[in-house]
Structure 1
Amino acid sequence: MSKKESTSRTLLVALAVSLVSSVFVAGAAVSLKPVQIENRQLDKQRSILAIAGLGEASMSSREIKDLFSSRIKARVVDLETGEYTDAYDPNVFDPLKAAKDPKLSEALAGEQDIALIKRRERFTTVYMVEQDGRLDSLILPVRGYGLWSTLHGFVAVKSDLNTVVGLGFYQHAETPGLGGEVDNPKWKALWPGKTLFDEQGKPAIRIVKGGVDPANPEATHQVDALAGATLTSNGVDKLLQFWLGEQGFGPFLAKLRTQGV
């Protein structure tokens, strides 16, 4: 066999192996996609329950699903009108996918986009914890850019629509030990009991450097910044201002206050 024939045969074998491997990888990706989607949904439900102060970290998948379905009610909200809508099924509607669709979202620029999300979906899903048929707490999805990534999370408020129950992020790529400290239980423990709005109903919550002074009248609206993570802290500050304001859940929360909860 000539050297040329040997080289050609080697290349053909390599090509065949690559094609077979590609088929197996593609097949595995397709077959695993439903599992991946279910796991993402489960992680989100776990995060919502944790922020609402429900359940235990050691709960099984079945326990998470059962607790979520029994205590959490999901509704889709029209962010422009502040009204609930039945146009979409809250159990399958994907606000992040909608944010990429020009028909279901709007582009943001300049001062409109303080959270640096580029586009804001018109419709999104909120989650209500109910007790004896009445609202116990409301869980709002929030997101915004930190230092290296977009932080995706939830803020939970009591039925007064002002007092924080909890804040947490289920997805981000901030620096471990710095911006990644948004996951630190000690930092998350600073949020419950803080108030989001001032007496005029405007977003007042702020993250401050140097530590919160308890004697400051504004201390109820303030949370310590993350040590050594100024840009991530600023990002959390800005994303809360955005989503609690007129571009975000402002009209929705105003309607709830008027209608009573």
Structure 2
Amino acid sequence: MSKPKTKSNSNAKTLSVALTLCLVCSVLVSAVAVGLKPAQVENSRLDRNKNILVAADLFDPEKDTNDDVAERFADFDVKIVDLNQGNYLSDEELAEVGIADRNTYDDSQAAKNQALSEDLGDNDPAGIGRKPKYAKVYVKEDASGNPELVVLPIKGYGLWGTIYGFLTLESDLNTIKGISFYSHKETPGLGARIEEPKWRAQWDGIQSYDDEGNVATGVTKAGNPKENWVDGISGATLTSRGVSNMIQFWLGEQGYKPYLDYLRKESGKSLEVSGDTQAMLSQPRQTTPIALQSSDKEA
């Protein structure tokens, strides 16, 4: 006569089956995650390259394919810049500062590494906390080896979080070719409109600096146009201010200005602005970034 099953034996069996099922599921999920990792990395790389080409006005989402992206991005050289000195780092110098590969270097991650970044303290108009000492830039050169297009990664705090994007300068290293934003937490229908082609198109042809090397552009309050500045987004005041602060920071001395000055010197260019444009830039302009208040709402 078989011994009757007790309640404790039944519970133990149920627990054993549940644990086994959890273990099997964990193994399967881990295997899938590992298997998908290369595809995720490739998709992330493709998205980044698309946004670089968008900022350089070299990508049409209506007709261009992934092959087009690969072909056009191949024209760009990936370089690492010392943001304080302005010069490029050689492979030997990269190894010395702890950067194993220029292509996989992530300056956003570097900003979290004390050895590869610096604390901005109170001098932080873009609201990024720490600035990487070295930045990855993308340069398309002409037949003579001089910069034809320079794509600069930019980031700064908007209304709800950090906005990430790219800014492209033309061969004079002053005229903006385009801009793109690929990651942000701005309000849909309001601040998120920074992604819209119509708003981004305003940046085309804007002058970054005046003859004295001062940053000469930014984003105005919506409905208050100013020459050489981009009109803000109605209903998204703080997002507009955040983008303005971001642009002024990265074009300034704390950002890429030492690098752009270095490029001009290397290529024999000077920072010249036409008389009409210079007269326009000499008009009174806002030069002090507006601090963002965490309690503010989109308005």
TM-score (norm 2): 0.80
- 2:227 aligned with 1:219: yes
Q: Give yes or no for contact 2:168–2:177 (8 Å, CA) kept in 1.
A: yes
Deviation at 1:237, TM superposition (A): 0.8
Task: Kindly name which structure, 1 or 2, has the bigger radius of gyration based on alpha carbons.
Answer: 2
How many residues are treated as equivalent by the alignment? 254
**What CA distance in whole angstroms lies between the structure 2 residues aligned with 1:53 and 1:250?**
22
Q: Which of residues 190, 211, 217 in structure 2 aligns to 1:178?
A: 190
**What CA distance in whole angstroms lies between the structure 1 residues aligned with 2:250 and 2:160?**
20
**What CA distance in whole angstroms lies between the structure 1 residues aligned with 2:212 and 2:15?**
73
Deviation at 1:201, TM superposition (A): 0.8
- 2:67 aligned with 1:59: no
**What CA distance in whole angstroms lies between the structure 1 residues aligned with 2:253 and 2:178?**
22
| Alignment map for 1:204-215 (pairs within 5 Å) | 204-213=216-225
Counterpart of 1:40, as a letter, is S
Q: Which of residues 153, 156, 161 in structure 2 aligns to 1:144?
A: 156
**What CA distance in whole angstroms lies between the structure 1 residues aligned with 2:52 and 2:76?**
9
**What CA distance in whole angstroms lies between the structure 2 residues aligned with 1:230 and 1:212?**
12
| Alignment map for 1:1-261 (pairs within 5 Å) | 1-57=5-61, 58-69=63-74, 71-86=75-90, 87-88=93-94, 89-110=101-122, 112-133=123-144, 134-213=146-225, 218-220=226-228, 222-259=229-266, 260-261=268-269
Note the alpha carbon deviations across 1:128-166, whole angstroms, 9 max, x for none: 122323322211110011111211111111111111100
**What CA distance in whole angstroms lies between the structure 1 residues aligned with 2:238 and 2:16?**
52
Counterpart of 2:171, as a letter, is S
Match of 1:161, SS? coil
Counterpart of 2:153, as a letter, is P
Match of 2:85, SS? coil
**What CA distance in whole angstroms lies between the structure 2 residues aligned with 1:37 and 1:190?**
32
**What CA distance in whole angstroms lies between the structure 2 residues aligned with 1:77 and 1:172?**
25
**What CA distance in whole angstroms lies between the structure 1 residues aligned with 2:143 and 2:172?**
17
Match of 1:246, SS? coil
Note the alpha carbon deviations across 1:45-70, whole angstroms, 9 max, x for none: 1111121111432333232112211x
**What CA distance in whole angstroms lies between the structure 2 residues aligned with 1:33 and 1:201?**
45
Alignment RMSD (CA, Å)? 1.7
Note the alpha carbon deviations across 1:200-237, whole angstroms, 9 max, x for none: 11112121113253xxxx511x1111121111111111
Counterpart of 1:231, as a letter, is L
Identity %: 43
Q: Give yes or no for contact 1:212–1:223 (8 Å, CA) kept in 2.
A: no
**What CA distance in whole angstroms lies between the structure 1 residues aligned with 2:198 and 2:67?**
29
**Which structure 2 segments of 5+ residues have no match?**
95-100, 270-299
**Which structure 1 segments of 5+ residues have no match?**
none
Counterpart of 1:64, as a letter, is V
Match of 1:207, SS? coil
**What CA distance in whole angstroms lies between the structure 2 residues aligned with 1:21 and 1:249?**
49
Match of 2:234, SS? coil
Cα distance change on mapping 1:248 and 1:241 into 2, 3 Å? same
Counterpart of 1:249, as a letter, is Y
Q: Report what 2:288 is aligned to.
A: none
Q: Give yes or no for contact 1:212–1:219 (8 Å, CA) kept in 2.
A: no
**What CA distance in whole angstroms lies between the structure 2 residues aligned with 1:52 and 1:171?**
17
**What CA distance in whole angstroms lies between the structure 2 residues aligned with 1:99 and 1:129?**
26
Counterpart of 1:59, as a letter, is D
Deviation at 1:22, TM superposition (A): 1.2
Q: Give yes or no for contact 1:78–1:84 (8 Å, CA) kept in 2.
A: yes
Q: Give yes or no for contact 1:146–1:231 (8 Å, CA) kept in 2.
A: yes
Counterpart of 1:35, as a letter, is A
